[in-house]
Amino acid sequence: MAISPFESALIETWTLYGIGTVAFMLRIFSRMRLGVSGYCLDDYTIIFAWACYTVMTVAAHMVGGTGDTSHLTMEERLAFTPEQAAARQSGTKWFMVGWFTYIGLIWTLKLNMLLLYKRVVSVVWVKKFLLPAMIIVGISGVSIWILFASACRPFHKLWQILPDPGKYCMPQSPAFLIAVLVLNLFTDLIIILIPIPIIWPLKISLARKLGLLLMFCAGIFVMIAAILRVYFVISLQKGQTAAIWSCREDVVAIVVGQATMIRPVFTRRFWTNGTASSTGYNSKKNVSHELSDRNASQSQSTAYRMGFRKVKDPYGMSVLETKANESEEKIINKDLEQAAGRATLGPSSAHHMPTQPTQKDAIHVTQEVNVSSTYGDQAQQSNWRFV
């Protein structure tokens, strides 16, 4: 049995919704390891983004079944029966619901990405751009909502059948499409450019560096999808094709925005170790950096200059994981392990040497480990030598 274009579009729409919802749920699950006390602003706003995504997908389903009042000729308007006219009007109302929730979703994801950068970035000159970028994103999103509400007055003309209200009083109005496209591309470009000067200097392999750039710059696909959506509507007047590209744009934006949050779920450490204490990390465990340099023995000043810092949250936003020491040596003797476990680091970064084991058959292994303690926003690093 052949599948109609409408059914095919519905299948793809709800499949993409499922993928996006899984990304949201994995992010929430990952952050739950911290408890509510460890939540940040973007952990709450992401719930609003998911609610917008759900309503927008329902709206896309409804509009796909009824159509809307855009690009109707006078002959088509005159030929509508009362039932057909009512269906089109209902579809147009759902279309506007979709417009408002689309902006709510995409612009919330933009703000979430900037909030992520705020926690990741430690380069002073880059951080100066974050607050202006947030203000630009916030103002542009609210401005689009105001445009939707005020471009066609009175508002009910958007779903008026007769008389023809004009090309600016329809849900696929050029005023809506072009304004959203311009502001969408402009804000996406700002967000894409921010991490480049931070990631590029990192002393990691070229493959990992390109992978990070690809992940943070995947918004380029979102920009392409936005351009195609407007092209299909204005030039080809293919609203259904434009709707599919809008759904693709949304799911890519969701996955890219949550990638750094859900990555820890796919690591062994997430499932085998408990949450690290808020004052530091165990010296024998992996060390996570948000934007990390593989050379863990770098000084604190160099680390900050390169644009990364130690995080209190070992699971929330780890992009790279590096080991405190690239050596695979293990201390076999239990006395040595216990001695190492008694080592502590105080706020003053004072060095406390573990007690030397007295057993004659002890295996002596020399190992350097970088231990970091986080106090407030400052990360302190010290070198320990276990003998």
Domains of the chain by start residue, with CATH: 5-266 (1.20.1070), 269-386 (no CATH)
Q: What is residue 383's predicted lDDT score, i.e. its pLDDT?
A: 41
Distance CA 64, CA 61 (A): 5
Distance of CA 137 to the CA centre of its chain: 15
What is the β-pairing status of strands 378-386 and 320-322?
Answer: unpaired
* Segments in 156-262 forming alpha helices (H): 174-193, 196-199, 206-216, 219-234, 239-262
For residues 202 and 166, give the distance between their C-alpha atoms in angstroms, rounded to a whole number. 55
b/e per residue 186-208 (b: at least 16 CB within 10 A) = ebbebbbebbeebbeebebeeee
pLDDT tens, the chain, 387 aa long = 678 888 888 999 999 999 999 999 999 888 887 666 667 888 889 999 999 999 999 999 999 888 899 989 999 999 999 999 999 999 999 999 999 999 999 999 999 989 888 877 777 777 888 999 999 999 999 999 999 999 999 999 999 999 999 988 999 999 999 999 999 999 999 998 888 877 777 788 888 877 777 777 777 888 888 888 888 888 777 766 777 888 888 998 898 888 888 888 888 888 886 544 333 333 334 433 444 333 333 434 444 444 444 444 443 333 333 333 333 333 334 443 444 444 444 444 444 444 444 444 444 444 444 433 333 343 444 344 343
Structure-token pair, residue 95 = 């279309």
Q: Which residue has the tokens 């900050």?
A: 304
Q: Which of helix, strand or coil describes residue 384?
A: strand
Q: Of 370, 260, 256, nearest to 313 (Cα)?
A: 260
The β-bridge partners of 146 are: none
Look at residue 304 in the predicted model and tell me its pLDDT. 44
